[in-house]
Structure formats: C-alpha cells, structure tokens
Amino acid sequence: MTTVAVLGGGRIGEALLGGLVASGHDPAALSVVERDAARADDVAARLGIEVVGALEAARRADVLVVAVKPQDVAGVLGEVGGSLPDPRPVVVSLAAGIPTAALEEWLPEATPVVRVMPNTPMLVGRAMCVLSPGSHADETALGTAETLLGAVGRTVRVPEAQQDVATALSGSGPAYLFLVAEAMIEAGVALGLARPVATQLVSTTVDGAGGLLTDDSDGPAHPGLLREAVTSPGGTTAAALRVLEAHGLRAAFSDAVEACRDTSRALGATYGG
C-alpha cells in the first residue's frame, strides 16, 4: 500500500488523513509531521496513525503531502529535501499560490511535484481539488495524486496557468456561497423568521441545490436549466430573480472572481510564479 506522510497536521492535513483512513487506507501506512506536540498527539490518537519527524517522513514516504502554511513551505522543503530517497516520492503541495517551479527549486532535481488547490469542503469529504503537474510529474504521479485526493472529494486537472482562475472559483468559492447564505438568513430574520429556522431553511437549501448541481447520473446539469426548473413565468421566484438581476448580481460575481484571480496571481509572483 502507498505510504503517505503529511507535513502539517492542521485542519486540511487532518482532513486528508481522515479521508484516507475512512476510505480504507491502512493507518500503518500513514504518518503526520506536526511540530505542535499536543496537536500531533490528538490527530494520531483519533486516526490511529504515527507521528514522525520531518526527515523520517521524507525518507519513507511514497507520497509526501505539503499541508503547511504557504510562508512555511520553503523552510519545510529545504529541511527535508536532502533526505528524499531515489526514486523520488511524489510531492503533493496543498499550499495555496506556490507555483511548481518554486517547489521544484526547493527540492532535489527530478522530484515529481503536483500542485493542488483544495477547498475547505475537504473537511466534510466534499472537496474540489484542482491539480497541475510540475515539469517532472508524469501520468503516474498525477494518477497517484488523484487517487490520494479522491478520498476527500473530487479532482480535476488544469494547466498551471489556470490555477489562479481555479482558485477564484473553487478555492475561494465557498466564502462567496457562505456570504449568500448569510444574506438570505438575515433577510428571513428581517421578515420575521426565528434565526434557527431561517438558518435551517437556507443551509439545507444550499446543500440540496449543490446536490442537484453535482448529480451527474444523467450527465452534468447546467445551472441555467436547474434555475429555469424552479422559475415559473410570472411567479414568485421570477420576481426575486428580477430583483437580483437589477442589482447586478452577475456583474458583481464576475468582478469578484476577477479580483480574486488577480490577487492570487500577484501572490504567486512573489514565489517566482
């Protein structure tokens, strides 16, 4: 079984390890590197995995997952790079904004690197993970990363030049939807609903609508068709949508996604991307 070591036992690192355990991966083949001893012990106890040092993780892992904060990646990879065996393990980076060229610069030559933009639904096993290969990552390395991340959600491949757009859609996307949900709840409360009732109505509606969007039993659903199915001519939904369109909802989302993309691009440039 593939041996996986995760550098970083924070929420995302733990979510990935938990997904692997839940999907049947042998806990004995999993390990975590976490400098916070209390956090490390907590993750290890709940998942039944081993806590190891960074150098040990680098020496024995078939897949080395980088799940530390972006500003810590260079230091962590600089620490473990000299301990990577030959053939090299696949290095899967979950660090936002760091291009594969920078990752490869911090690692030994010919290390296969896969850059991934996950999102926070990974915490509930429903992530959207966007993968881009580095210059030494072949089909086998990409397949390994896809199998790994399939334990916590869905995956899609894009050229690395499109990672900033993917970040603006799926990486930051949950925040947009949370803002929409928050606004809907507040509107319901303002119109007389108790907050717990409004929250339940909106959260369950968002969850159900997401299920319709991702249900591909009959092929991918177009959101426009799903919207039309709810919208009767001259009806209540049509009245509400007319107001949203009048307030420039589409333009606002377009501008927001563009702003996110540009910021992601600028941050990546600080690492040489």
**Residue 273: per-residue pLDDT:** 56
Task: Give the pLDDT score at 216.
Answer: 79
CA dihedral for 59, 63, 67, 69, sign (positive or negative) = positive
Residue type at position 197 = V
**What digits encode the pLDDT tens for the residues 160-184?**
999 999 999 999 999 999 999 999 9
Residues β-bridged to residue 90: 63
Beta bridge partners of 32: 6, 51
Report the DSSP beta bridge partners of residue 112: none
CA proximity to 115, closest of 161, 80, 81, 150: 161
Instruction: Classify residue 61 as exposed, middle or buried by CB count within 10 Å of its CB (0-12, 13-18, 19+).
Output: buried
Amino acid at 31: S
Task: Report pLDDT for 272.
Answer: 72
For residues 133 and 155, the answer to whether their CB atoms sit within 8 Å is: no
List per-residue pLDDT tens for the chain, 273 residues long.
799 999 999 999 999 999 999 999 999 999 999 999 999 999 999 999 999 999 999 999 999 999 999 999 999 999 999 999 999 999 999 999 999 999 999 999 999 999 999 999 999 999 999 999 999 999 999 999 999 999 999 999 999 999 999 999 999 999 999 999 999 999 999 999 999 999 999 999 999 999 999 887 777 679 999 999 999 999 999 999 999 999 999 999 999 999 999 999 998 898 875
> Model's pTM, two decimal places?
0.92
Cα separation, 262 vs 257, whole angstroms = 9
* 13: Cβ contacts below 8 Å, ≥ 6 apart: 6, 7, 32, 34, 43, 65, 67, 94
